[in-house]
Amino acid sequence: MKRKAISFYSKFHCIGSKCPSNCCQNWVIRIDDETHKHMMREAFPKNLKYRIFTVNEAGGFHHIRTIAGKCPYLRAGLCSFQWNHRMDLMPQICQVYPRRVVSYGSEAEISLELSCIHAAELFLETEGRLTYEEVEDDTIIMWEQGNQDPSFLTFLQESRERMLDYLWEDSHGSLVERQEALYDYVLSIHRFIVRDQIENAAQVKCKPRDKGAGETFFYPISFLNQILLQDVSFAESSKKNPTLHHLIDLYIKHAGKLYEDEAEEVFKIWYQEMITAYPKLEDTYLKYFSYVLQQIYTESYEDYHVLRKMLEALWFVDVWKLLDTVSYQVEGKAQNKTKELDPGNQSDSLVDEELSDSYSTNWADTSEEAKRLAAVERGFRHRLRLHDIFLERARQEILS
Ligand code: SF4
């Protein structure tokens, strides 16, 4: 099978015990049937400990019973199976993560999940447009997109390249203007696809809106607000995703007070302030949008639902931007001020008194940005139940 990997893939190695946010916690860690049989047969015959640590759910799959959210096999930041050189006894998802291998018939694409903080750092450090390059690799394929329509796959790959070419052209305006153009493009091709008119879809071009509305976010703030306040379990995130919990907490305290009709304007100002202080961030969000499209757009090979993938990609970027914007207002801006002014003089900033006024790291450091990105990826990309809720909301409020 031909395999292609995203450009920074080869740089990744798990940093294990040095990782500030080890992934062996706060997930449901599934044990695939094959590994489970293998474990039972070879590693743990009649082993009570193993039986205590695994659970067979009503849905029929086994997963590891975590203790205080952590995998009980975690030892000094590394998996016990790794310590014992028995990687083959690790559940497949643990062997593979954060590598993401998706196969489409005779070829597969490999990228990295940015919910891994080290992968997120590498992503942020890699400049410019990322590409898939042919590689020799034997990572287990965890996702198979089945369809017997190779011409549709070719169409999707060409359509994705067309979008990325448009996205990365500097003369095409702000990030949101480019996103609007791509959304309109995908909406047009979606209409042809549902009528089984792929030839017509292939003729559609990306083009700017006649009159962009000059938005800062693709989705209205009120729409993003509903998802953050109503659909994400704030209580649950405190243990499972402390960084996301902290970001949503900042959002509730500082943006939750805004009225709907003033929120758009306020966020426009806040976002502009952040971009003025850190101009490269807009490029980072563009790179992220591009990366998400590279990862998920061709997954519509199976269900032909290109519009869903576009809506999701736009949503992930907006959520990250929104939470970054609030975080900058409360933490980044305060940090800049403490550098410039008397630390006591913060009267016009949104400084949260509970927050520490001495910061050991810079708000915009790659490691800090990676923390926020990984938290958003973990909290939104990996919460499939949330995707359905989001899509239903988008259907009612964006598409209607
Ligand atoms: S989050 Fe990434 S770097 Fe950290 S332990 Fe997991 S795979 Fe390794």
> Any idea where the domains of the chain sit in the sequence?
24-96, 221-399
Summarize the confidence of residues 23-28 as an average pLDDT: 80
What separation in Å is there between the alpha carbon of 374 and the centre of ligand 1? 11
Q: What is the pTM of this model?
A: 0.90
Query: Does residue 43 register a pLDDT over 90?
Result: no
List C-alpha distances in Å: 387 to 201, 242, 316: 26, 21, 10
pLDDT of amino acid 283 = 96
- Go through the chain and tell me how many residues it has: 400
Residue 29 Cβ contacting ligand 1 at under 6 Å = no
pLDDT of amino acid 338 = 65
- Strands 78-79 and 74-75 come out as antiparallel
Summarize the confidence of residues 129-136 as an average pLDDT: 96
Query: Using one digit for the tens of pLDDT, what is the confidence trace for 53-74?
Result: 777 665 667 888 888 778 888 8
Residue 55 Cβ contacting ligand 1 at under 6 Å = no
DSSP of 41-56, one letter per residue?
III-TT-HHHHHHEEE
Return all residues near 312 (Cβ < 8 A) that are at least 6 apart. Answer: 292, 296, 387, 390, 391
- Taking alpha carbons only, the member of 64, 6, 9, 1 closest to residue 32 is 64
Q: CA 327 to CA 372: how far, in whole Å? A: 9
pLDDT of amino acid 62 = 83
Tell me which residue has its CA closest to atom 2 in ligand 1: 116
DSSP bridge pairs for 78: 75
DSSP state letter for 141: P
Mean pLDDT of all residues belonging to the chain: 87
Query: Does residue 317 register a pLDDT over 50?
Result: yes
- Quick one: pLDDT band at residue 26, thresholds 50, 70, 90? confident
- Quick one: pLDDT band at residue 9, thresholds 50, 70, 90? very high
Residue 224 Cβ contacting ligand 1 at under 6 Å = no
Tell me which residue has its CA closest to atom 3 in ligand 1: 14
Query: Does residue 355 register a pLDDT over 50?
Result: no
- Give the lowest-confidence range in 90-94, 122-126, 279-283: 90-94
